[in-house]
Amino acid sequence: MDMADRMKRTPVKEQEPKIRAKNFDEVCLGYEEEKAIQEANRCLTCKNPKCVEGCPVSVNIPGFISYVKEGKIEEAAKEIAKYSALPAVCGRVCPQENQCEGKCVLGIKGQAVAIGKLEKFVADWSRKNNVDLSQTEPKNNKKVAVVGSGPAGLTCAGDLAKKGYDVTIFEALHEAGGVLVYGIPEFRLPKDEVVKAEIENIKKLGVKIETNVIVGRTVTIDELIEDEKFEAVFIGSGAGLPKFMGIPGENANGVFSANEFLTRVNLMKAFKEEYHTPVKVGKKVAVVGGGNVAMDAARTALRLGAETHIVYRRGIDELPARAEEVHHAKEEGIIFDVLTNPNEILVDENGWVKGMKCVKMGLGEPDASGRRRPVEIEGSEFIMDVETVIMSLGTSPNPLISSTTEGLEINKWKCIVADETTGLTSREGVYAGGDAVTGAATVILAMGAGKNAAKAIDEYLKNK
């Protein structure tokens, strides 16, 4: 391979923007084996791999890529399985540019190795070829309860099951997966094909999943410990409580939280005719916010046939969403109204949204977060004529568990206080991780927290 080839990433096939804007099929079609091997061959197999440092679950990246180079995809899958229980998910939704790929040495002079796309390829290949990844240590008959079946809970449960524990996950919704099933849309992360299959893999390790159990209502943590004899608990209940702006008109018909909108479409499959849950979007939709969830909501509304605007109070460079997501959204025809902030939702005589009063913003001095603070430009008020408004302003942890668990310490943001390396909370034997601890963050950070907690729980129960 000459240097010029080495510096350039092997392109990956995607659905055409105009076509995919009208369907819910996956945007990224992924590598074929030949292309994957070609891309794998760009990897320098560093002795001191920086990419691994960038991965929150420390996947042996040069290790699995070396197998891909040789066409040994099954071995590659087994190598990844040592570190990650959800590779088909992570390969798709991790912000690799800030993680593994952000550290790749090839990225200094050229383009980083497409680690995420290679991981996706390996995971998809192993699923299609039924590679058995269900090896576990002998059963030790110690029961561990995991609260929440999102990325943190699934990872923690998977790791503990591999170590021989008897693990039960309790999930409040009717489907396991957390944000992977209700939040991230089908076109980024196919549900039946990818998410369900990865959850099946975790079940094959012996993990039991009880859906329709709301910890804090159906059963409490104390009951799990005292009555059902779980020796340790991991709380991975996420941050699912949506924020609203508190502006006039926000309860009008046609204003949704992004969580409600995405849950209707993703979990309840409102976009499919044969499913019964309705969803309603007008001809023109405004999504307020600039994060990944805002991009997901906007691209979903677009696919339901609406002209869709992202309304964000800072500038285009300050958008917190992944660059790839913003790029995809733009390609599909999402209109970005940046430096714009709504201050009132206008309501018609029947209580429906008829417009949104906005004000233009300028950028002032950097604030505590290091980003330039948006400041209202006086006299710049204008009205956007929209019929639907989707609020995507972030989420915070649900207080249901903390308020029903004696002695579980929380901070002022209602996040559970837990040790950074072990996930241990203020209660002995009770661990926590993911968004429930950090507030809304990423899938892979939640997985990292689940992994660390599994290690800590194993040490705790071995010494108990």
- Run of H or E residues at 353: strand 353-366
Least distance (Å) from another protein to the CB of residue 105?
42
**Among residues 269, 371, 373, 414, the one that binds another protein under rule CB under 8 A:** 269
CB atoms near residue 129 (< 10 Å): 10
Which two three-digit tokens encode residue 233?
């608990």
CB atoms near residue 109 (< 10 Å): 9
Rule CB under 8 A: say whether 46 interacts with another protein: no
CA distance 245 to 341: 11
Report the residue number, 334 or 390, with the smaller CB distance to another protein. Answer: 390
Region of 219 (left: φ > 0; alpha: ψ -120 to 50; beta: rest) is beta
CA distance 415 to 423: 13
Interacting residues with another protein between 337 and 356 (CB under 8 A): 350-351
Report the residue number, 105 or 252, with the smaller CB distance to another protein. Answer: 252
CA distance 458 to 464: 10
Cβ density class 433-446: b for 16+ within 10 Å, e for less:
bbbbbbbbebbbbb
**Among residues 50, 196, 280, 373, the one that binds another protein under rule CB under 8 A:** 280
Residues contacting residue 194 through CB under 8 Å, at least 6 positions apart = 88, 89, 92, 124, 127
Rule CB under 8 A: say whether 274 interacts with another protein: yes
**Among residues 24, 121, 230, 256, the one that binds another protein under rule CB under 8 A:** 256
Rule CB under 8 A: say whether 413 interacts with another protein: no
Rule CB under 8 A: say whether 211 interacts with another protein: yes
Interacting residues with another protein between 297 and 336 (CB under 8 A): 304-305
Rule CB under 8 A: say whether 23 interacts with another protein: no
Instruction: Please identify, among the stretches 24-32, 190-198, 263-271, 441-449, the one whose residues bind another protein according to the rule CB under 8 A.
Output: 263-271
Interacting residues with another protein between 167 and 196 (CB under 8 A): 172-174
Rule CB under 8 A: say whether 276 interacts with another protein: yes
Instruction: Please identify, among the stretches 60-68, 333-341, 392-400, 431-439, the one whose residues bind another protein according to the rule CB under 8 A.
Output: 392-400
| 369 three-class SS | coil
**Among residues 155, 259, 300, 402, the one that binds another protein under rule CB under 8 A:** 259
Region of 413 (left: φ > 0; alpha: ψ -120 to 50; beta: rest) is alpha
Q: List interacting residues with another protein (CB under 8 A).
A: 172-174, 211-214, 217-219, 240-242, 244, 246, 250-251, 253, 256-257, 259-260, 263-264, 268-269, 273-278, 280-281, 304-305, 350-351, 395, 398, 400
